[in-house]
Chain A
Amino acid sequence: MAKLKIEDLEKIADDYKRKMTVREGGGRVKVTVHMGTCGIAAGAREIMNTFVSEIEEKNVKDVILTTSGCAGLCSEEPMITVEVLGQAPVKYSKLTPEKAKKIFEQHVLQGIFVKEYALSIGSEKVQ
Chain B
Amino acid sequence: MKTYRIQLMVCTGTGCVSNHAFDIKSALEKEIAKHNLQAEAEVVTTGCNGFCGAGPILVVQPDGIFYQTLKVSDIPFLVEEHLLKGRPVKKLMYVPPKEKAPIPKMSEIPFFSDQTLIALRNRGMIDPENIDDYIARGGYKALAKALTSMTPDEVLQEIKKSGLRGRGGGGFPTGIKWETCKKAEGSTKYVICNADEGDPGAFMDRSIIEGDPHSVIEGMIIGAYAIENVREGYIYVRMEYPLAIKRFNIAIEQAKEYGLLGERIFDTDFSFNIYVRRGAGAFVCGESTALMASIEGKPGEPRAKYVHTVEKGLNDCPTCLNNVETWANVPQIILKGADWFSSIGTGDVTHDPWGGSKGTKVFSLAGKVNNTGLVEVPMGITLRDIIFKVGGGIRDGKKFKAVQTGGPSGGFIPESLIDLPVDYEELTKVGSMMGSGGMVVMDEENCMVDMAKYFLKFTQEESCGKCIPCREGTKRMLDILERITVGKGREEDLDLLEELSMMIVESSLCALGGSAPNPVLTTLKYFRDEYIAHVRDKKCPAHVCRQLLTFTIDPQICLEIGHGCGMCKKNCPDGAIIGETKKVHYIDPMKCGKCGICYDVCNFEAIKVE
B466 on the A face (CB < 8 A): no
Q: B132-191: which have CB < 8 Å to A? A: 132-133, 135-138, 140-141, 144, 148
User: Min CB distance, B37 to chain A, in Å?
Assistant: 10
Residues of B within 8 A of A3 (CB): 258-259
- Contact with A21, one of B62, B64, B258 (Cβ below 8 angstroms): B62
Residues of A within 8 A of B61 (CB): 22-25
Interface string of A20-44 (1 = CB under 8 A from B): 1111111100100111110010000
User: Min CB distance, A24 to chain B, in Å?
Assistant: 7
- Contact with B3, one of A5, A6, A20, A52 (Cβ below 8 angstroms): A52
Contact of B259 with A64 in the complex, beta carbons under 8 Å:
no
Binding-face segment, B80-88, B199-207, B353-361: B80-88
Contact of B7 with A17 in the complex, beta carbons under 8 Å:
no
Contact of B4 with A15 in the complex, beta carbons under 8 Å:
no
Q: B71-101: which have CB < 8 Å to A? A: 83-87
B125 on the A face (CB < 8 A): yes
Contact of B257 with A25 in the complex, beta carbons under 8 Å:
no
- Contact with A5, one of B85, B257, B267 (Cβ below 8 angstroms): B267
Given the interface pairs A4-B259, A23-B61, A64-B62, the reply to whether A13 lies near B138 with Cβ below 8 Å is: yes
Contact of B62 with A4 in the complex, beta carbons under 8 Å:
no
Q: B1-44: which have CB < 8 Å to A? A: 1-7, 9, 39-40, 42, 44
A109 on the B face (CB < 8 A): no
Contact of A23 with B7 in the complex, beta carbons under 8 Å:
yes
Given the interface pairs A9-B141, A17-B136, the reply to whether A22 lies near B259 with Cβ below 8 Å is: no
- Closest-by-CB residue of A relative to B85 is A35
B270 on the A face (CB < 8 A): no
Whole-angstrom CA separation of A24 from B474 in the bound complex: 50
Contact of A16 with B133 in the complex, beta carbons under 8 Å:
yes
Contact of A9 with B62 in the complex, beta carbons under 8 Å:
no
Given the interface pairs A6-B148, A19-B1, the reply to whether A25 lies near B62 with Cβ below 8 Å is: yes
User: Min CB distance, A74 to chain B, in Å?
Assistant: 14
Whole-angstrom CA separation of A106 from B84 in the bound complex: 27
Whole-angstrom CA separation of A103 from B219 in the bound complex: 46
User: Min CB distance, A107 to chain B, in Å?
Assistant: 18
Contact of B258 with A13 in the complex, beta carbons under 8 Å:
no
Contact of A56 with B125 in the complex, beta carbons under 8 Å:
no
User: Min CB distance, B83 to chain A, in Å?
Assistant: 8
Whole-angstrom CA separation of A37 from B84 in the bound complex: 10
Q: A62-94: which have CB < 8 Å to B? A: 64-69
B63 on the A face (CB < 8 A): yes
Contact of A23 with B62 in the complex, beta carbons under 8 Å:
yes
A residues contacting the other copy or chain, number (CB 8 A):
40
Q: How many CB-defined contacts (below 8 Å) exist between A and B?
A: 105
Q: How large is the interface on B (under 10, 10 to 19, 20 to 34, 35 or more residues)?
A: 35 or more
Contact of A6 with B266 in the complex, beta carbons under 8 Å:
yes
B260 on the A face (CB < 8 A): yes
Given the interface pairs A6-B148, A21-B62, A36-B85, the reply to whether A1 lies near B7 with Cβ below 8 Å is: no
Q: B528-578: which have CB < 8 Å to A? A: none
User: Min CB distance, B120 to chain A, in Å?
Assistant: 15
- Contact with B40, one of A24, A26, A52 (Cβ below 8 angstroms): A52
Residues of B within 8 A of A24 (CB): 61-62, 125
User: Min CB distance, A8 to chain B, in Å?
Assistant: 8
- Closest-by-CB residue of B relative to A14 is B136
Whole-angstrom CA separation of A37 from B141 in the bound complex: 47
Residues of A within 8 A of B141 (CB): 9
- A1, A19, A20, A56 — most chain B CB neighbours (10 Å): A19
- Contact with A20, one of B39, B85, B136, B260 (Cβ below 8 angstroms): B136
Whole-angstrom CA separation of A12 from B140 in the bound complex: 11
Given the interface pairs A16-B132, A19-B7, the reply to whether A67 lies near B148 with Cβ below 8 Å is: no
Contact of B62 with A69 in the complex, beta carbons under 8 Å:
no
Residues of A within 8 A of B144 (CB): 6, 9
A55 on the B face (CB < 8 A): yes
Contact of A25 with B9 in the complex, beta carbons under 8 Å:
no
Contact of A27 with B1 in the complex, beta carbons under 8 Å:
no
Given the interface pairs A1-B258, A27-B62, A34-B86, the reply to whether A52 lies near B5 with Cβ below 8 Å is: yes
User: Min CB distance, A104 to chain B, in Å?
Assistant: 13
Contact of B132 with A12 in the complex, beta carbons under 8 Å:
yes
Residues of A within 8 A of B138 (CB): 13
- Closest-by-CB residue of A relative to B140 is A9
Whole-angstrom CA separation of A40 from B63 in the bound complex: 20
- Contact with B9, one of A5, A16, A23, A55 (Cβ below 8 angstroms): A23
User: Min CB distance, B2 to chain A, in Å?
Assistant: 8
Residues of A within 8 A of B44 (CB): 23
* B binding-site residues for A, Cβ under 8 Å: 1-7, 9, 39-40, 42, 44, 61-64, 83-87, 107, 125, 132-133, 135-138, 140-141, 144, 148, 257-260, 266-267
Closest 5 CB pairs of A and B: A67-B86, A3-B259, A16-B136, A35-B86, A65-B5
20 additional contacts (CB under 8 A) given A22-B62, A35-B85, A68-B87:
A6-B148, A9-B135, A9-B140, A9-B144, A12-B132, A12-B135, A15-B1, A16-B135, A20-B137, A22-B61, A23-B9, A23-B62, A25-B62, A25-B107, A26-B62, A35-B84, A37-B85, A52-B40, A55-B3, A66-B63
